[in-house]
Structure 1
Amino acid sequence: MQAVLKYPKIAVIRPQGCLNAANALEFERDLTTALAQDNMSILVVDLAAVESLDSAGLMALVSALKLAGSLGKSFRLCSVSPAIKIIFEMTQLDRVFEIWKSEAELAQRIL
Protein backbone atom coordinates (compact mmCIF):
# COMPACT_ATOMS: atom_id res chain seq x y z
CA MET A 1 0.00 0.00 0.00
CA GLN A 2 2.77 2.44 0.80
CA ALA A 3 6.49 2.94 0.91
CA VAL A 4 8.38 4.19 3.91
CA LEU A 5 11.62 6.08 3.33
CA LYS A 6 13.90 7.28 6.09
CA TYR A 7 16.07 10.32 6.36
CA PRO A 8 17.94 10.88 9.61
CA LYS A 9 15.21 11.28 12.28
CA ILE A 10 12.55 11.62 9.54
CA ALA A 11 10.18 8.95 8.27
CA VAL A 12 8.23 9.47 5.04
CA ILE A 13 5.10 7.45 4.33
CA ARG A 14 3.63 7.50 0.83
CA PRO A 15 0.11 6.06 0.74
CA GLN A 16 -1.35 5.25 -2.68
CA GLY A 17 -4.83 5.12 -4.16
CA CYS A 18 -7.75 5.59 -1.81
CA LEU A 19 -7.61 6.29 1.90
CA ASN A 20 -11.04 5.18 3.02
CA ALA A 21 -12.95 2.97 5.43
CA ALA A 22 -11.61 -0.15 3.70
CA ASN A 23 -7.98 0.58 4.60
CA ALA A 24 -8.02 3.38 7.19
CA LEU A 25 -7.25 1.07 10.13
CA GLU A 26 -4.22 -0.40 8.36
CA PHE A 27 -3.07 3.11 7.40
CA GLU A 28 -3.48 4.35 10.98
CA ARG A 29 -1.54 1.33 12.24
CA ASP A 30 1.31 2.17 9.83
CA LEU A 31 1.34 5.78 11.05
CA THR A 32 1.31 4.68 14.69
CA THR A 33 4.17 2.23 14.10
CA ALA A 34 6.26 4.94 12.45
CA LEU A 35 5.56 7.41 15.27
CA ALA A 36 6.49 4.83 17.91
CA GLN A 37 10.07 4.58 16.62
CA ASP A 38 12.48 6.14 19.09
CA ASN A 39 14.96 7.29 16.44
CA MET A 40 12.36 9.31 14.53
CA SER A 41 11.23 12.85 15.37
CA ILE A 42 9.35 13.92 12.22
CA LEU A 43 6.75 11.90 10.31
CA VAL A 44 5.92 13.14 6.82
CA VAL A 45 2.95 11.78 4.90
CA ASP A 46 3.40 12.36 1.17
CA LEU A 47 -0.10 12.38 -0.35
CA ALA A 48 0.99 12.75 -4.00
CA ALA A 49 -0.34 9.32 -5.00
CA VAL A 50 -3.61 9.53 -3.02
CA GLU A 51 -6.59 9.68 -5.36
CA SER A 52 -9.39 9.97 -2.81
CA LEU A 53 -9.84 10.52 0.89
CA ASP A 54 -12.95 9.93 2.99
CA SER A 55 -13.79 10.65 6.63
CA ALA A 56 -12.14 7.42 7.83
CA GLY A 57 -8.91 8.39 6.07
CA LEU A 58 -9.11 11.87 7.58
CA MET A 59 -9.64 10.40 11.04
CA ALA A 60 -6.53 8.22 10.63
CA LEU A 61 -4.52 11.36 9.88
CA VAL A 62 -6.08 13.28 12.80
CA SER A 63 -5.38 10.38 15.18
CA ALA A 64 -1.76 10.26 14.05
CA LEU A 65 -1.44 14.04 14.47
CA LYS A 66 -2.73 13.76 18.06
CA LEU A 67 -0.39 10.87 18.81
CA ALA A 68 2.58 12.77 17.37
CA GLY A 69 1.75 15.73 19.60
CA SER A 70 1.52 13.55 22.70
CA LEU A 71 4.89 11.98 21.85
CA GLY A 72 6.54 15.35 21.19
CA LYS A 73 7.06 14.58 17.51
CA SER A 74 6.22 16.53 14.36
CA PHE A 75 3.62 15.36 11.85
CA ARG A 76 3.52 16.97 8.41
CA LEU A 77 1.73 16.46 5.12
CA CYS A 78 3.12 17.22 1.68
CA SER A 79 2.26 16.96 -2.02
CA VAL A 80 -1.48 17.28 -1.44
CA SER A 81 -3.34 17.35 -4.77
CA PRO A 82 -5.91 20.11 -5.36
CA ALA A 83 -8.79 17.61 -5.11
CA ILE A 84 -7.58 16.34 -1.73
CA LYS A 85 -6.69 19.84 -0.51
CA ILE A 86 -10.33 20.88 -0.98
CA ILE A 87 -11.30 18.22 1.57
CA PHE A 88 -8.87 19.69 4.09
CA GLU A 89 -10.18 23.19 3.39
CA MET A 90 -13.86 22.20 3.66
CA THR A 91 -13.25 20.51 7.01
CA GLN A 92 -10.92 23.36 8.08
CA LEU A 93 -8.23 20.79 8.78
CA ASP A 94 -5.88 22.81 6.59
CA ARG A 95 -5.60 25.05 9.67
CA VAL A 96 -4.67 22.09 11.86
CA PHE A 97 -2.15 20.21 9.71
CA GLU A 98 1.18 21.55 8.55
CA ILE A 99 0.90 21.09 4.77
CA TRP A 100 3.85 21.56 2.40
CA LYS A 101 3.74 21.78 -1.40
CA SER A 102 6.30 19.05 -1.97
CA GLU A 103 8.62 16.68 -0.20
CA ALA A 104 11.59 18.54 -1.72
CA GLU A 105 10.45 21.86 -0.25
CA LEU A 106 9.91 20.23 3.13
CA ALA A 107 13.31 18.52 3.02
CA GLN A 108 15.02 21.86 2.28
CA ARG A 109 13.43 23.41 5.35
CA ILE A 110 14.13 20.47 7.65
CA LEU A 111 17.58 19.30 6.54
Structure 2
Amino acid sequence: MQLALKSPKITVIRPHGCLNAANALEFERDLTTALAQDDTSILQVDLAAVESLDSAALMALVSTLKLAGKLGRSLRLCSVSPALRIIFELTQLDEVFEILESEATATA
Protein backbone atom coordinates (compact mmCIF):
# COMPACT_ATOMS: atom_id res chain seq x y z
CA MET A 1 0.00 0.00 0.00
CA GLN A 2 1.03 3.54 -0.60
CA LEU A 3 0.49 6.24 2.00
CA ALA A 4 -0.40 9.09 -0.28
CA LEU A 5 -1.50 12.03 1.80
CA LYS A 6 -1.20 12.79 5.46
CA SER A 7 -2.85 15.71 7.19
CA PRO A 8 -3.41 16.19 10.91
CA LYS A 9 -6.79 14.48 10.83
CA ILE A 10 -7.24 12.65 7.51
CA THR A 11 -5.07 9.81 6.27
CA VAL A 12 -5.63 8.73 2.65
CA ILE A 13 -4.73 5.25 1.45
CA ARG A 14 -4.65 4.56 -2.29
CA PRO A 15 -4.58 0.83 -3.00
CA HIS A 16 -4.15 -0.27 -6.60
CA GLY A 17 -4.72 -3.30 -8.78
CA CYS A 18 -6.80 -6.22 -7.58
CA LEU A 19 -7.78 -6.57 -3.94
CA ASN A 20 -8.43 -10.23 -3.33
CA ALA A 21 -7.73 -13.18 -1.05
CA ALA A 22 -4.06 -13.14 -2.05
CA ASN A 23 -3.47 -9.68 -0.58
CA ALA A 24 -6.49 -9.02 1.68
CA LEU A 25 -4.55 -9.62 4.91
CA GLU A 26 -1.85 -7.17 3.87
CA PHE A 27 -4.54 -4.68 2.82
CA GLU A 28 -6.29 -5.00 6.19
CA ARG A 29 -2.99 -4.68 8.05
CA ASP A 30 -2.16 -1.47 6.16
CA LEU A 31 -5.61 -0.04 6.88
CA THR A 32 -5.41 -0.98 10.56
CA THR A 33 -1.94 0.52 10.93
CA ALA A 34 -3.04 3.79 9.34
CA LEU A 35 -6.20 3.91 11.45
CA ALA A 36 -4.30 3.27 14.68
CA GLN A 37 -2.10 6.33 14.27
CA ASP A 38 -2.83 8.84 17.01
CA ASP A 39 -3.30 11.81 14.70
CA THR A 40 -5.73 10.03 12.34
CA SER A 41 -9.38 10.76 12.93
CA ILE A 42 -10.56 9.86 9.42
CA LEU A 43 -9.15 7.07 7.26
CA GLN A 44 -10.08 7.58 3.63
CA VAL A 45 -9.61 4.78 1.11
CA ASP A 46 -9.33 6.09 -2.45
CA LEU A 47 -10.38 3.21 -4.73
CA ALA A 48 -9.73 4.99 -8.05
CA ALA A 49 -6.85 2.66 -9.00
CA VAL A 50 -8.53 -0.56 -7.81
CA GLU A 51 -9.54 -2.80 -10.71
CA SER A 52 -11.46 -5.42 -8.74
CA LEU A 53 -12.14 -6.66 -5.26
CA ASP A 54 -13.49 -9.89 -3.85
CA SER A 55 -15.19 -10.97 -0.64
CA ALA A 56 -11.89 -11.14 1.26
CA ALA A 57 -11.19 -7.48 0.44
CA LEU A 58 -14.74 -6.55 1.44
CA MET A 59 -14.22 -8.32 4.77
CA ALA A 60 -11.00 -6.37 5.28
CA LEU A 61 -12.93 -3.14 4.77
CA VAL A 62 -15.73 -4.25 7.11
CA SER A 63 -13.24 -5.26 9.81
CA THR A 64 -11.51 -1.91 9.53
CA LEU A 65 -14.85 -0.11 9.71
CA LYS A 66 -15.66 -1.97 12.95
CA LEU A 67 -12.26 -1.04 14.38
CA ALA A 68 -12.79 2.59 13.39
CA GLY A 69 -16.05 2.60 15.31
CA LYS A 70 -14.39 1.13 18.40
CA LEU A 71 -11.66 3.79 18.23
CA GLY A 72 -14.15 6.62 17.68
CA ARG A 73 -12.79 7.29 14.21
CA SER A 74 -14.23 7.27 10.69
CA LEU A 75 -13.59 5.18 7.62
CA ARG A 76 -14.79 6.42 4.28
CA LEU A 77 -14.37 5.36 0.67
CA CYS A 78 -13.99 7.60 -2.37
CA SER A 79 -13.55 7.37 -6.13
CA VAL A 80 -15.43 4.06 -6.32
CA SER A 81 -15.73 3.02 -9.96
CA PRO A 82 -19.12 1.89 -11.32
CA ALA A 83 -17.90 -1.73 -11.44
CA LEU A 84 -16.92 -1.65 -7.77
CA ARG A 85 -20.01 0.31 -6.77
CA ILE A 86 -22.17 -2.55 -8.08
CA ILE A 87 -20.41 -4.91 -5.66
CA PHE A 88 -21.15 -2.57 -2.77
CA GLU A 89 -24.77 -2.26 -3.88
CA LEU A 90 -25.30 -6.01 -4.33
CA THR A 91 -23.91 -6.69 -0.87
CA GLN A 92 -25.82 -3.68 0.52
CA LEU A 93 -22.54 -2.35 1.89
CA ASP A 94 -23.23 0.94 0.12
CA GLU A 95 -25.61 1.58 3.03
CA VAL A 96 -22.91 0.79 5.61
CA PHE A 97 -19.93 2.72 4.22
CA GLU A 98 -19.67 6.43 3.66
CA ILE A 99 -18.91 6.56 -0.06
CA LEU A 100 -17.85 9.85 -1.62
CA GLU A 101 -17.66 10.58 -5.33
CA SER A 102 -14.04 11.75 -5.38
CA GLU A 103 -11.17 12.73 -3.14
CA ALA A 104 -11.88 16.38 -3.96
CA THR A 105 -15.41 15.95 -2.60
CA ALA A 106 -13.99 14.39 0.52
CA THR A 107 -11.62 17.23 1.31
CA ALA A 108 -14.09 19.99 0.45
Give 1:2's aligned residue: 2
Q: Deviating runs (4+, > 4 A) in structure 1? A: none
What are the Cα deviations for residues 27-85 of structure 1, in whole angstroms up to 9, with x where unaligned?
Answer: 00000001110111000000000000000000000000000000000110000000000
Give TM-score, length-normalised by structure 2. Answer: 0.97
Structure 1 regions of 5+ residues with no counterpart? none
Give 1:48's aligned residue: 48
Structure 2 regions of 5+ residues with no counterpart? none
Query: Which residue identity does 1:34 align to in structure 2?
Result: A
Query: Which residue identity does 2:56 align to in structure 1?
Result: A
Q: 1:31 aligned to 2:31? A: yes
Identity %: 79
Partner of 2:22: helix, strand, or coil? coil
Distance apart, 1:3 and its partner CA? 3.4
Distance apart, 1:4 and its partner CA? 3.2
Q: 1:102 aligned to 2:88? A: no
Give TM-score, length-normalised by structure 1. Answer: 0.95
Give 1:71's aligned residue: 71
Q: How many residues in Structure 1 have an aligned counterpart in Structure 2? A: 108
Q: 1:93 aligned to 2:58? A: no
Computed over aligned residues only, the root mean square deviation of the Cα atoms, in angstroms, reads: 0.8
